[in-house]
Amino acid sequence: MNEETIEAVVFDVYGTLFGFGRLAERARAIVGDVPLLDRWRTKQLEHSFLRTILGEYEDFWVITAQALDAACEQLELELLPEEREHLLQGWLELDPFPETAMALERLAERGLRLAVLSNGSPMMLEQLLRMAGLREWFEAVLSADAVRRYKPSPAVYALAPAHLVVPPERILFCSANGFDVAGALRYGFRVCWVDRTGSALDALGKQPHRTVQSLTELSEQL
Amino acid sequence: MNEETIEAVVFDVYGTLFGFGRLAERARAIVGDVPLLDRWRTKQLEHSFLRTILGEYEDFWVITAQALDAACEQLELELLPEEREHLLQGWLELDPFPETAMALERLAERGLRLAVLSNGSPMMLEQLLRMAGLREWFEAVLSADAVRRYKPSPAVYALAPAHLVVPPERILFCSANGFDVAGALRYGFRVCWVDRTGSALDALGKQPHRTVQSLTELSEQL
């Protein structure tokens, strides 16, 4: 990979720039050891995939709420309205990973253009990035909402080159999510898998151009 | 629902006509209490959804094999080649639910036309139905392979009315899988959810026209 050709770095958001630790704590405080957050996240992704296949778009905030309800039904949990609200609100108040701000600063200093490209709705992304004080680093906050379907649909990835006016092969796309690595590779980006846990990558048989354990590691390499 | 308008009953296969009990035993004999089959089935569905979104078709037999490998990697299991083969082969040797044959016979006696519509490949479906002695009941064995994408894509459901030359509202589609109920409802079939376990239905907020606990119950109602 010739690094000199990379002009922009585009980040996935949930699980890549922001972790779920704080949301997991909220869930634990309400339901104890029941694996609600795991089921919720799984349902959220499943619903976004299924709605994309069905051609039946719903806002990601609605999908997130419906996925919580579906997860609770399956786990036979009944939340109070204020507990449900508190959990949902958690998506707007996630913590960035400890190294996120410093890594973004370093990449910006190198003259790289930075953007995010996420399944999150514009409202969710803007609130989250502002709350965390990270909004200023990104020249674009791109949401799947603009094309009314979800990653890994090629139409979502196409937002980045169109908006930045940079060809896909000069964009490094960073994600911690296997399905996102698969979609970004297929679309034609350079792809970096952020593997914080040493887990197995499931990117439908494809291999990313690089793998890092943290955004710090990425920022030191570019 | 006016039952007199139903001319054909179309069945999903995996989980609806056939159960996973025998495959679960095979998995247990090899890996013990590790939840391999659950993870495998989850990965199989996820891969079929993702490949449909990516527009990157793979035969369902290949998807099933790749899903097994991905599940093993995540669970840090290493199978011997013959164990892997034995598990894969299990998809061709599933047991029908105990009531399946009798229910099909009863429905056929009522003059209803019967078909299956599945994500399984033609090879997988033909072998499974023949092995179980059920092939004769179906005038059509329809596979998603014909349109190179997977349920719940509307293009897959469209195979049934096209092949049977019966409008969707005169077809009763039966499935035990929530995403399949969602897709079939959206497509315009009459839909029966087969709920053997009393679990919560996740059909993206939609409700089936009827719910039965077994195929016997269905065959008594039509």
Domain end call among B49, B64, B92: B92
Domain end call among A33, A60, A92: A92
Q: Residues of B near A (CB-CB distance < 8 A)?
A: 43, 46-47, 49-56, 66, 70, 73-74, 76, 150, 152-154, 179, 182-183, 186, 199-200, 202, 204-205
Contact B49 A49 (CB under 8 A): yes
Chain B residues near residue A73 by CB distance under 8 angstroms: 200, 202
Asked about A69 being catalytic, the answer comes back as no
Task: Give yes or no: residues A59 and A112 share one domain.
Answer: no
From CA A184, how far away is CA B146, in angstroms rounded? 27
Mean pLDDT of B28-36: 96
Q: What 3-state class would DSSP assign to B45?
A: helix
Task: Give yes or no: residues A34 and A134 share one domain.
Answer: no
When mean pLDDT is compared across A3-12, A109-118, B93-102, B132-141, the lowest value belongs to: A3-12
Question: How deeply is B76 buried, as exposed, middle or buried, from its count of CB atoms within 10 A (0-12, 13-18, 19+)?
Answer: exposed
From CA B42, how far away is CA A4, in angstroms rounded? 40
Task: Give yes or no: residues A55 and A80 share one domain.
Answer: yes
DSSP letter, residue A141: E
Task: Give yes or no: residues A68 and A121 share one domain.
Answer: no
| Residue corresponding to tokens 């990601």 | A60
Of B70, B182, B199, Cβ closest to residue A50: B182
Mutate to test the interface with B, among A59, A62, A204, A206 (most CBs of B within 10 A): A204
Q: Which CATH number fits the domain that encloses residue B84?
A: 1.10.150.240
Task: Give yes or no: residues B98 and B111 share one domain.
Answer: yes
Task: Give yes or no: residues B30 and B124 share one domain.
Answer: no
Mean pLDDT of B148-154: 98
Q: Which two tokens stand for residue B79?
A: 């199978």
Ordered DSSP codes for B2-32: -GGG--EEEE--BTTTB-SHHHHHHHHHHHT
Backbone CA torsion sign across A151, A153, A154, A156: negative
Task: Give yes or no: residues A70 and A171 share one domain.
Answer: no
Task: Give yes or no: residues B197 and B125 share one domain.
Answer: yes
CB count, 10 Å around CB of B190? 23
Task: Give yes or no: residues A115 and A35 share one domain.
Answer: no
Mean pLDDT of B203-210: 94
Mean pLDDT of B63-87: 97
Q: What 3-state class would DSSP assign to A190?
A: strand
Task: Give yes or no: residues B44 and B56 share one domain.
Answer: yes
| Residue corresponding to tokens 């609605």 | A62
Task: Give yes or no: residues A15 and A43 share one domain.
Answer: no
The pLDDT-based confidence of B4 (bands split at 50, 70, 90) is low
The pLDDT of residue B2: 54
User: Which amino acid is present at A18?
Assistant: F
Q: Which CATH number fits the domain that encloses residue B102?
A: 3.40.50.1000
Mean pLDDT of B172-191: 98
Interface ipTM above 0.90 = yes
> How many domains is chain A built from?
2
The pLDDT of residue A196: 93
Mean pLDDT of B92-99: 97
| Residue corresponding to tokens 């508190």 | A86
Residue B92, pLDDT above cutoff 80: yes
From CA A116, how far away is CA A12, in angstroms rounded? 6
Residue span of the structural domain in which B129 resides: 3-19+94-221
The pLDDT of residue B199: 87
The pLDDT of residue B207: 96
The pLDDT of residue A199: 87
Q: What 3-state class would DSSP assign to A114?
A: strand
Domain end call among B92, B114, B145: B92
Contact B51 A202 (CB under 8 A): no
Tens digit of pLDDT at every position of chain A (222 positions): 455 699 999 999 999 999 999 999 999 999 999 999 999 999 999 999 999 999 999 999 999 999 999 999 999 999 999 999 999 999 999 999 999 999 999 999 999 999 999 999 999 999 999 999 999 999 999 999 999 999 999 999 999 999 999 999 999 999 999 999 999 999 999 999 999 998 899 999 999 999 999 999 999 998
The pLDDT of residue A3: 57
DSSP letter, residue A199: P
Residue of A nearest to B43 (CA): A202
From CA B194, how far away is CA A133, in angstroms rounded? 49
From CA B81, how far away is CA B68, in angstroms rounded? 12
Q: Which two tokens stand for residue B20?
A: 């996973």
Question: In this structure, are residues B53 and A153 in contact, taking their beta carbons and an 8 Å threshold?
Answer: yes
* A175 φ, ψ (degrees, to nearest 5): -150, 150
List the end-to-end C-alpha distance of chain B, in Å, as a whole number.
11
Task: Give yes or no: residues B156 and B112 share one domain.
Answer: yes
User: Which amino acid is present at A197?
Assistant: T
